[in-house]
Amino acid sequence: MRVFVVLTLLAAVVSAFDVEYNTSGTLGTLPTYVGSSDGWGEYFIVPLQNTTGQALLLKELRFPCCGPATSGYGWVVWDDVGDTVTVPAGDATTADYYGAFTPVIASGSSAADITQYTIVDVSASNVVIPVDACWCFGYDNTQLGGQVAFNGVITYGWYEGSWDSDQPWGRTALLEFAADYAAALESASWGEIKTLFD
């Protein structure tokens, strides 16, 4: 009698980043709703606090959206909005870091048309979020931005000249980021320190 042993190997999914976050609670969540640029919000943002215990170096911002290329303020980050988790005092042009991007989905008319996230590599911008800092990030909604039913995470849209909460409307905008822990200068190599000032 022969005995066969079957081994099952479980492959662990290992992230390439130290920290990843999505406003839905699950990375890559696709939208069930959308907000239009002309009826919901020209920008979508989420205020957060860095509670990781380490400074974060942002690597990617990810947005489930569709539309034409953005303005020069396509992705936006405010690295410190004060002592509480709140919206920035001004519009997107007050962001500390920003840049243009083109959504991977050129056009759409419903949530079903947004089948993937646009991934924006922001690593060259050296965006560092200090420990315990309250900060915001978001994007220029050039046509449609993905949303889910309100889940406790308060997001905002820039509407008629101010940041308008999505909560009273029963929605949470989908926004995602990936970051690494920023190397402390005392333990960083000369090359790592030099990239902070390039």
List beta partners, residue 135: 48
Share of the chain above pLDDT 90, in %: 82
Q: With 90 as the cut, is the pLDDT of residue 183 above it?
A: no
Q: Where are the beta strands (DSSP E) in the chain?
A: 19-22, 33-36, 43-49, 56-63, 65-66, 75-78, 97-99, 118-121, 128-129, 134-140, 144-149, 156-159, 162-165, 171-173, 176-181
DSSP letter string, 93-118: GG-SEEE----SS---SSGGG--S-E
Q: How far is CA 26 from CA 19, 147, 160, 175, 176, in A?
A: 13, 13, 31, 11, 9
List beta partners, residue 159: 162
Question: What does the pLDDT read at residue 15?
Answer: 73
Question: What does the pLDDT read at residue 198?
Answer: 53
pLDDT in tens, 81-91: 988 889 999 99
pLDDT in tens, 90-148: 999 999 999 999 999 999 999 999 999 999 999 999 999 999 999 999 999 999 999 99
> What's the mean pLDDT in 26-55?
97
Domain positions in the chain are: 19-183
Question: What does the pLDDT read at residue 84?
Answer: 87
Token couple for 26:
């699950």
Question: What does the pLDDT read at residue 195?
Answer: 53
Question: What does the pLDDT read at residue 87?
Answer: 95
> What's the mean pLDDT in 154-160?
97
CA–CA separation, 8 and 36 (whole Å): 47
Measured CA angle at 96 (ends 92, 98), to 5 deg: 60
Q: With 90 as the cut, is the pLDDT of residue 47 above it?
A: yes
C-alpha torsion sign, points 47, 53, 55, 61: negative
Question: What does the pLDDT read at residue 7?
Answer: 29
CA–CA separation, 113 and 32 (whole Å): 10
Q: With 90 as the cut, is the pLDDT of residue 184 above it?
A: no
Question: What does the pLDDT read at residue 186?
Answer: 47
Mean pLDDT across the chain: 89
